[in-house]
Amino acid sequence: MQNNVTPDETETFEPKIIAFCCHYCAFAAADLAGTMRLQYPPNIHIIRLPCTGKVDALYLLKAFEEGADGVMVAGCEEGSCHFTNGNLRAKKRVHHVRDQLEQTGIEGERLEMFNLSSAMGSRFAEIAHLMTDRIRKLGPLFGNESAN
């Protein structure tokens, strides 16, 4: 009975999640996850960046505009950026865009920054699960306006 409380669409909703991944860590970690044959949801669409420092507010917003239900930025662990502090800059930009999204009524949780190293294949798979579950619970970015 309790399961019926959740609408059917949410149960079967497969979110589209864009992951902006740093070449030196998250992208390699995703690769490793594959080599390790770890299962992770196919909802994650990876875009490789030379560094998360390349992330721009416009990338994040355009991803949402073009149909993403969630966006993640995955960079090196703090202090380990290949370009010294690109990941710290990305963090500030992600926070800024999150704030702006929240002010306009869009859940900030749809956008998240993660930090991991290239050796963390299983952590990447874990993040992919976490993000997919989170966005699945939130539902599609658009399309349920009347329900609100």
Partner 1 sequence: MIVADQKPINEILGMLERYDKVLFVGCQTCVAVCMAGGEKETGVLASLVRLARQKAGQPIEIDEAAIQRQCEEEFIEPLEADGYQAILSLGCGVGVNKLADHFGIPVLPGLNTGFMGHIEEHGVWAETCAGCGDCVLHRTGGICPVVRCAKSLMNGPCGGYTDDGLCESGTGAPCAWIAIYKRLKELGLLESMTETSPPKDWSKDRFSGPRTRVREDVRL
Q: Which residues bind partner 1 (CB under 8 A)?
A: 56-58, 61-62, 64-65, 100-101, 103-106, 141-142, 145-146
The β-bridge relationship of strands 70-75 and 17-22 is: parallel
Give whichever of 17 and 125 is closer to partner 1, judged by the CB atom.
17
Q: What are phi and psi of 136, to 5 degrees?
A: -60, -40
Q: What are phi and psi of 107, to 5 degrees?
A: -60, 125
| Residue 138, token pair as written in the block | 């939130």
Q: How far apart (Å, rounded) are the C-alpha atoms in residues 107 and 147?
A: 15
CB of residue 74 to partner 1, shortest distance in Å:
22
Helix (H/G/I), strand (E/B), else coil: 94 = helix
In whole angstroms, the minimum distance from the beta carbon of 141 to partner 1 comes to 7
Closer to partner 1 by CB, 64 or 114: give it: 64
Q: Give min distance, CB of 145 to partner 1, in A.
A: 4
Burial of 51: CB neighbours in 10 Å, binned 0-12, 13-18, 19+: buried
Q: Is the CB of 64 or the CB of 124 nearer to partner 1? A: 64
**Nearest residue (CB) to partner 1, 61 versus 88:** 61
Backbone angles phi and psi of 14, in degrees to 5: -110, 100
State the minimum distance, in angstroms, from the CB of residue 49 to partner 1.
18
